[in-house]
Amino acid sequence: MAAASDRRRINAPSSGTSAPVFARTVKEPGYLQSLRPARTRRPNELRKTFLQTGIVPSASGSAYLEIPTTSTPNSKSTLIPPTSSLKITASIQGPKPLPRSAPFSPSLLLTTTVKFAPFATRHRRGYIRDAAERDLGVHLETALRGVIIGERWPKSGVEVVITVLEGDEDGWWGDAGQESASGMNGGGWALLNVLAGCITVASAAIVDAGIDVVDVVSGGVAAIVRDPTARNETERKVRILDPSPAEHQEIVAACVVGYLASRDEITEIWMKGDVGADSDGLIEGATYAAVGSVGVLKDVLLEAVEAKFKNQAATTSKEGTKRKQQDVKMTG
């Protein structure tokens, strides 16, 4: 009786329990390799992109970017997705006056913060920003600094906060703990795709906040991958646009750019890997990928502006109708 009234203890279940039985990951020889994703798009074909503005009401401007995952014929036979999708949110805080103790600044002070959510990757991230996140913030600030017209906001500051809800992967999850043929598995190739998405979604959020810019900037990625089915060494290297690292066994080099389409200018470039003599072609491919993102960016911003004007027109008409009803007719 005393044991039953002791609330400080958690009593065991009345009935017995059995040990859990886990399903085998490898059902048969070659089953795990059959789940490996493969690129079904053409080399110059981009993935579909979802972009929306105005998702954070408390922020001056905000946007959300998502690039869905690709599916394989055998992906339905497992609960683990073949590749990760890219999901990024951006919010703008400001422009707001600087503190009185801050020195005078003739132009707008830009601050960028990129942070991965703890659940953004398969390996849990920490709550404190690491070196990779700080590097992404520096690259993003460089891409946006040449776009904003800072002279119109003296002694003011604006903060661009980027949250990566789900990030691209450096390689396929089935190769965890293994090294690729070149030893570059997990070499940080996914950071280039994340940076391109951050540039595009930050540009949409800045325009949604009403900050003056010279043009909208978009990010694009191109890569040189090695095709193991090629017959000779010259045909083995293939240049592709918008790569997904999980779909390729070996990536030789990659490049990401921040591109202004109407001005034909590059505000940010980050190249990684053994580029060789084809650096100009890799930059040109990344520029083509950025041009593809510009089309989505402009369509979304145009829809947002049209919706905003329609809401203002509806609000004005309602106020005019209410004012007419409140008017008093004077008679002589």
Q: What is the pLDDT of residues 35-46, one digit of tens each?
A: 777 788 888 989
Bond before 20 cis per omega within 30 degrees: no
Q: Give me the residue spans of the domains in the chain.
A: 36-70+82-174+186-311
Q: pTM here? A: 0.81
User: How many other C-beta atoms can be found within 10 angstroms of the C-beta atom of residue 328?
Assistant: 5
Task: Convert 194-258 into a string of H (helix), E (strand) and C (coil).
Answer: HHHHHHHHHHHHHHHCCCCECCCEEEEEEEEEECCCCCCHHHHEEEEECCCHHHCCCEEEEEEEE
Mean pLDDT of 289-318: 83
Q: Which CATH number fits domain 36-70+82-174+186-311: 3.30.420.40, 3.30.230.70, 3.40.50.1970, 3.30.450.40?
A: 3.30.230.70
Quote the percentage of the chain above a pLDDT of 90.
Answer: 37
What pLDDT is recorded for position 82? 67
User: How many other C-beta atoms can be found within 10 angstroms of the C-beta atom of residue 31?
Assistant: 14
The CA distance from 131 to 113, in Å, is: 12
Tell me, what DSSP letter sits at residue 274?
A: -
What pLDDT is recorded for position 79? 61
Instruction: Give tens-digit pLDDT for 219-248.
Output: 999 999 887 766 666 667 888 998 888 888
- CB-based burial, 295-309: b 16+ in 10 Å, e otherwise: ebbbebbeebeeeee
What pLDDT is recorded for position 304? 86
Instruction: Give tens-digit pLDDT for 137-171.
Output: 999 999 999 899 989 888 999 999 999 999 888 77
pLDDT at 172 over 80: no
**CB–CB of 266/258 below 8 Å?**
yes
Per-residue pLDDT band at 181 (split at 50, 70, 90): very low
Question: Lowest-pLDDT range, 92-106, 109-123, 199-213, 314-328?
Answer: 314-328
What pLDDT is recorded for position 310? 81
Question: Lowest-pLDDT range, 59-73, 171-185, 286-300, 310-324?
Answer: 171-185
